[in-house]
Structure 1
C-alpha cells in the first residue's frame, strides 16, 4: 500500500484560511472564490472539482447560512462563516449547517460577538485534530494490515486497502452521527431559549 506519510501529506489536514489571510477590506464574490481556491486547491480530488462557486455561495446565502451581505461585498465575518460552512458541508446537510451556525448568526445580528476569537478556537482545535488523526490513521492502517495477514487470499494489498476504506468510513459515520445528535440537541435548546426569555419578561 502507498506510504502512509504520502497519504497524510496529500490530505493537507492543516489547510485552512487564517485570519491573517483574510483581508480587512470587503471582497466581491470572485475575490472570495479566488481566496478559497488558492487555499484549498491541494485538497481537491481532481482538477474538475470546485472548491467554491458562485452557485454555492448564492445557495448558502439563500439558505441563510451566514448573515446578509451588503452592496454585494463580503466582510471578514462572511469569510469566517463561509470557511466554517466549507468545513461542515462535506458531512452535513444544508439544514443541519443552518442549525449549527444559526446561534452564531443570531448573535452577530443582535449583539456583539467575538467571531474572530471563536474562529481562532476552531483553528486551534483543527490543528490538534490533525495530529490526532495522523496517529489514528496509522493505527487503522496497522489493523487492516494485521487482519489481511490472516486471510488465505491473493491480492492482499487490494484487500488491505478495502478493509482500510471500510474502517475509515465506519469511524467517519460514527463521528457524523454523533455530530447529528448534537445538532438535534442544539435545535431543541434553540427552541426552548426564546420561550424562557419571554417568560422572564412577563
Structure 2
C-alpha cells in the first residue's frame, strides 16, 4: 500500500486525446490507431495489450457507435467519438455506449452541435475527476489502514482492492441507470 502513489503515477490518468492532438486532415485507420497508441500507451497493463485495433474500430462502425466514415478516412469528429468510446467501454456495454452516443451522432450529422465544445467539456471534467480520484484513493488508503490496524499487508492490499472495485461498481451502476433514463427519454420523443 505504500506504493499507491507510484501506482497512480503509472496509470497515465492524465492521458487524453485532445483537440490539439488531432491533425486538421482526415486520417486513415492506421493513423487513428497510432494516435491512440501514442496517447494511451502508458495506461496499458502490459506490453501485449492493444489500446485500439482495426477489429475494434470495425466493430464500433458495424455497431453504429459513430456515423459512417467517408472514403476510408476518419474525421476529427470520428476521432473524438472513438475517444469517448475508448473511455466508456471500460464500464459500459456496447449497447449502452450506442445509446449514450446516439443523440450526439445525430446532432453532429445534422450539424446541430459543436462536438469540439462538448469534448472540451468532457476533458475539463475528466481532469477534475483525476484530481478527485487521487484524493479519494489517499482517503481510502487511510481508512483501510485504520480498519486493518497494522495486520498483514497482503490483507490490507486485498481490502483496498475490494474497496476500489466496490467504488467502481457503484459508479458503473449509476452510469447504467443514467443510460436507461436516456433511453426512456428517447422513446418518449
1:110 offset after TM fit, Å?
A: 2.2
Structure 2: state its 5+ residue gaps. Answer: none
Find the counterpart in structure 2 of residue 186 from structure 1.
182
Partner of 1:28: 28
Could you say which residue in structure 2 is the equivalent of 1:90? 90
The corresponding residue for 1:107 is 107
C-alpha distance in 1, partners of 2:107/2:84?
16
| Greater displacement, 142-151 / 22-31 | 142-151
Cα deviation code 1:7-53 (max 9, x no counterpart): 11011111101100011100000000000000000000001100000
Alignment partner, residue 158 of structure 1: 154
What is the aligned partner in structure 2 of residue 124 from structure 1? 124
Deviation per residue, 1:53-103 (Å, 9 max, x gap)? 000000000000011000000000000000000000011100000001011
TM-score, structure 2 normalization = 0.97
Q: SS where residue 23 of structure 1 aligns?
A: coil
Q: What SS is found at the alignment partner of 2:73?
A: coil
* Distance apart, 1:109 and its partner CA: 1.9
Query: 1:150: how far off?
Result: 6.6
Return the alpha-carbon distance in structure 2 between the equivalents of residues 44 and 12 of structure 1: 9
Which one is further off, 19-28 or 7-16? Answer: 7-16
TM-score by length of 1: 0.91
Cα deviation for residue 143 of structure 1 reads: 1.1
| Matched residues, number | 189
Shift of 1:182: 0.3
